[in-house]
Chain A
Amino acid sequence: MLEPVGCLAEFPAGPFHEIAVRLFGRKGKASKSASRSYWHLLNLIEAAGKPLDSEQKSIVQALEIDAAARASVYEDVLPALGELKVMGIQLLIASSLSRAAVGRFLEQRSLAGFFSGVWNRDSASGIKTFPLLRAVSESGLQPKNTIFLTDSAEGLKVARSAGVNPILMMNDPDEAMRLAAHDPAGGIVSMHELPDFVRLVKAQNQQRS
């Protein structure tokens, strides 16, 4: 399972920060890290404890679509997804972005065909663990055989809560070293390592059986 923000593409941090400013009165400068801004925003939405009203929803959606439209897909993503698909690995999107933002992101980059399921906060009726739990249950996945790629502490926590294996995308070395203390099940430097990661785990499972 993949969260597009920080795993598949470099999103701009600005739109997520702006949502936090406009909806929750957040002060201060935007983080340079889109992931940090994104997951912080999700925490704010969760802490608000009530659903967004229609005006808030439209603000969030418009800015998320803007972020998705400006996201720059990492160069190793397309070859890695292609290789994983050939290997027969089931790929799913599990994101807390809106349906429209995820759809815009996948279609604009011709990525939709790689994924057998796309779960977002609208289809999963919630953020953070909700898309992961729906993806697991609706796709008949075994959580112990499922990984969730994320580049944030919150993402690692969410994956653990959903019972799947959190894998750290080590985009920034210093940040990754800090996040390694959050005990991820594994970590990759680049998406191009994911096929080898899967091959190694498969070979180890065969050795054990």
Chain B
Amino acid sequence: MKKISIYRPSTVDQAMQILSQHGTSASVYAGGTDLLIRLKNRLQQAPTYLVDIKKIDNLRYIKEDGQGGVEIGAATKLAELADSRLLQERYPMLVEAIGKISSPELRNASTIAGDLLQEVWCQYLRGGYSCWRNGGYMCYGAIGDNSYYHSAMGGRLCYAVYPGDAATALIPFDARAKLATPQGPKELLIEQLVPGDMLVDGKIQSHVVRFNEILTSVVIPAPKPGLRASFEKLRPRGVWDFAMASLALSLQLRDKTIDDARVVFGGIAGKPLRERAVENFLKGKILNGELGEQAISVALANAAPLKYNATKIDMAKGLLASGLARLNA
């Protein structure tokens, strides 16, 4: 493992100054379940300077925001989200999704911000191949084994899927991320935070957070009465693994009529994929047992599977049908 330096700032402003000083060779360090593995695997792209934000006050909390919503500090552990009574009462689908991330041990270490901003888990990147995200200019996933961790919906240079579940589950609630930046605070919808393969500061990354910015919290608006939501995830193993396909689904119901819908697929694209064609299809429909079959006929029309991952599209469509059936039960 290369030599690294660790800073332990006590404020967000200090942390931003350190990040600005070192440019793209520095990175925020909190849970470490992604970052430390990249270092241990000797990835060229791994940072040299770690800015440990665990000592910064007020980054680890779950609290009501005064408007019926909930705000979650960036350094809050996933296990704390999974155990939160407040979240369970307001957003049981989110708690279910968090409970399906990785393993209990890793949820004890991982933070919500780390889950949102994590690096992709393509086996070629993690194996040290010189790919787009690791100092090279090629995607080995596009031409090699892409059965599990690569996009079936096309790509932009890198074909790895966005691996996080939290973002997929937060988007149906129109959750927002708060960021501290040298220019002042800013807010983004989670969907805007992780739009997929972006060229940021000379790197390809799944999110838009620049090298000198820090995600400080996530705000989830109050759920409206009549909101029903479900999260489902298919993975190679029952625990620990990433989604081959997942679905976060929310329906805003008036009796059985769908006034609004959010359909977000995970594990099949370079971003949490909002499937607006299905959302539009569902609006105004009556939730019933036949809706699932009808919905999958309009889903994922732009699928562009790689050689070995067409099954992800079938999985995703299956999740859509089962998700609608579950909300109809």
Question: Across the interface, do B202 and A207 meet the contact criterion of CB distance under 8 Å?
Answer: yes
Asked if B37 CB lies within 8 Å of chain A CBs, one says no
The listed residue with most A CB atoms (<10 A of its CB), out of B23, B138, B155, is B138
Question: Across the interface, do B142 and A173 meet the contact criterion of CB distance under 8 Å?
Answer: yes
Asked if B6 CB lies within 8 Å of chain A CBs, one says no
List the interface of chain A (C-beta within 8 A of B). Answer: 167-168, 170, 173-174, 176-177, 180, 184-189, 193, 196-197, 199-201, 203-204, 206-207
Alpha-carbon gap, A60 to B323, bound state (A): 61
Which residue in A189, A199, A206 is a CB contact (below 8 Å) of B142? A189
Q: Identify 7 new A-B residue pairs, CB closer than 8 A, beyond the known A180-B138, A186-B138.
A: A168-B138, A173-B144, A177-B140, A180-B140, A189-B143, A207-B24, A207-B202
Alpha-carbon gap, A201 to B199, bound state (A): 10
Question: Across the interface, do B143 and A200 meet the contact criterion of CB distance under 8 Å?
Answer: no
Question: Across the interface, do A177 and B202 meet the contact criterion of CB distance under 8 Å?
Answer: no
Asked if B201 CB lies within 8 Å of chain A CBs, one says yes
Give every chain A residue within 8 A of B155 (Cβ-Cβ): 189
Question: Across the interface, do B24 and A173 meet the contact criterion of CB distance under 8 Å?
Answer: no
B131 vs chain A, min Cβ distance (A): 10
Give every chain A residue within 8 A of B139 (Cβ-Cβ): 187, 189
Give every chain B residue within 8 A of A177 (Cβ-Cβ): 140, 143-144
Asked if B156 CB lies within 8 Å of chain A CBs, one says yes
Alpha-carbon gap, A196 to B202, bound state (A): 11
Give every chain A residue within 8 A of B307 (Cβ-Cβ): 173-174
Question: Across the interface, do A173 and B137 meet the contact criterion of CB distance under 8 Å?
Answer: no
Give how many B residues have a beta carbon under 8 Å from the other chain's beta carbons: 21
Alpha-carbon gap, A126 to B14, bound state (A): 62
The listed residue with most B CB atoms (<10 A of its CB), out of A185, A186, A187, is A187
Give every chain A residue within 8 A of B159 (Cβ-Cβ): 189
Which residue in A173, A185, A193, A199 is a CB contact (below 8 Å) of B306? A173
Alpha-carbon gap, A196 to B307, bound state (A): 23
Give every chain A residue within 8 A of B136 (Cβ-Cβ): 186
Give every chain B residue within 8 A of A173 (Cβ-Cβ): 142-144, 306-307
Question: Across the interface, do A184 and B138 meet the contact criterion of CB distance under 8 Å?
Answer: yes
Question: Across the interface, do A203 and B202 meet the contact criterion of CB distance under 8 Å?
Answer: yes
Which B residues from 134 to 157 make CB contacts under 8 A with A?
136-140, 142-144, 155-157
Given A196-B156, A196-B157, A207-B23, decide whether A176 and B199 contact each other with a Cβ distance below 8 A: no
Alpha-carbon gap, A203 to B201, bound state (A): 7
Give every chain B residue within 8 A of A180 (Cβ-Cβ): 138, 140, 143
Question: Across the interface, do B137 and A196 meet the contact criterion of CB distance under 8 Å?
Answer: no
Question: Across the interface, do A203 and B137 meet the contact criterion of CB distance under 8 Å?
Answer: no
Give every chain B residue within 8 A of A207 (Cβ-Cβ): 23-24, 201-202
Alpha-carbon gap, A3 to B215, bound state (A): 46
Give every chain A residue within 8 A of B199 (Cβ-Cβ): 196, 199-200, 203
